[in-house]
Amino acid sequence: MAVDWFRHLNEALGPILLDAETIQNRVVELALQITADYQGRTPHLIGVLKGATIFHADLIRAIGVGVSVDFIAVASYGSGIKSSGEVRILKDLDESVEGKDVLLVEDILDTGLTLHYLLENLQSRNPQSLRVVTLLSKPSRRQIDVHADYVGFDVPDKFVVGYGLDFDQRYRNLPYICELILPPGTIADL
Ligand code: IMP
């Protein structure tokens, strides 16, 4: 299998934290909760590129009410692992969110700086409602108090890759989420 090949070639991949089945089961649970909460409405699911793409695609297919979708791309990390604390919009939404029931779909909530920025930005565009679903959260890393309405998994303070999450644009295609063991010295930057 291509994925195992990849693992063999790269010694930086550490233990699997969440296997594919565990992720899929939790995505379905989140989708059931969202389906119940949005009865009679059409949630507008905004995926945050690029990390949330896999989660977004699986989540919308498991939701049992009609949805609309859009995407936004922000830069909060460069090609490494350290947050700059600065958030910029690289690609804005295609459509207005005014009057819509927006559900922002994030891959991981780390310091919270990206989500804080996105929530303020989207709120200023007058949606009908604004909620957040994040697949992962690292509560111990939070620098700003920000709330996610739906959280897939709390994870420890480890750098993780797979299921959309990258390191230097790699590993997004792994079907599981695993720790990335970084070369000595890299961690000192965190
Ligand atoms: P925050 O602004 O610090 O909350 O960072 C959020 C963004 O940082 C996420 O959307 C990811 O793109 C990236 N990020 C944070 N932690 C990780 C990780 O462990 N692996 C991969 N990307 C991460």
145 is catalytic: no
Name residue 47's amino acid: G
> What's residue 25's pLDDT?
98
Q: What is the distance between the alpha carbons of residues 75 and 112, in angstroms, rounded to a whole number? A: 13
Q: Coil, helix or strand for 104?
A: strand
Residue found by looking up tokens 């969110």 in the block: 97
> What's residue 182's pLDDT?
76
**Which of 18, 87, 105, 107 has most ligand 1 atoms within 8 Å of CB, for mutation?**
107
- For residue 64, the CA-to-ligand 1 centroid distance in Å is 29
Q: List the beta bridge partners of residue 70.
A: 46
**Which of 50, 54, 55, 77 has most ligand 1 atoms within 8 Å of CB, for mutation?**
77
- 101, 107, 110, 166: the catalytic one is 110
> What's residue 10's pLDDT?
52
Q: How confident is the model at residue 116 (pLDDT cuts 50, 70, 90)?
A: very high
How many angstroms separate the Cα of 43 from the Cα of each of 25, 48, 75, 103, 115? 21, 15, 25, 6, 19
> What's residue 188's pLDDT?
42
DSSP state of 165: B
User: What are the structure tokens assigned to 39, written together?
Assistant: 């009865």
> What's residue 12's pLDDT?
82
- For residue 109, the CA-to-ligand 1 centroid distance in Å is 6
For 136-185, write each residue's pLDDT tens digit.
999 999 999 999 999 999 999 999 999 999 998 999 999 999 999 876 66
Q: What is the distance between the alpha carbons of residues 186 and 150, in angstroms, rounded to a whole number? A: 32
For 42-65, write each residue's pLDDT tens digit.
999 999 999 999 999 999 999 999
- For residue 106, the CA-to-ligand 1 centroid distance in Å is 9
Which range among 30-39, 130-139, 177-186 shows the weakest confidence by mean pLDDT? 177-186
Q: For residue 103, how far is the Cα from the chain centroid?
A: 12
Q: Coil, helix or strand for 36?
A: helix
> What's residue 107's pLDDT?
98
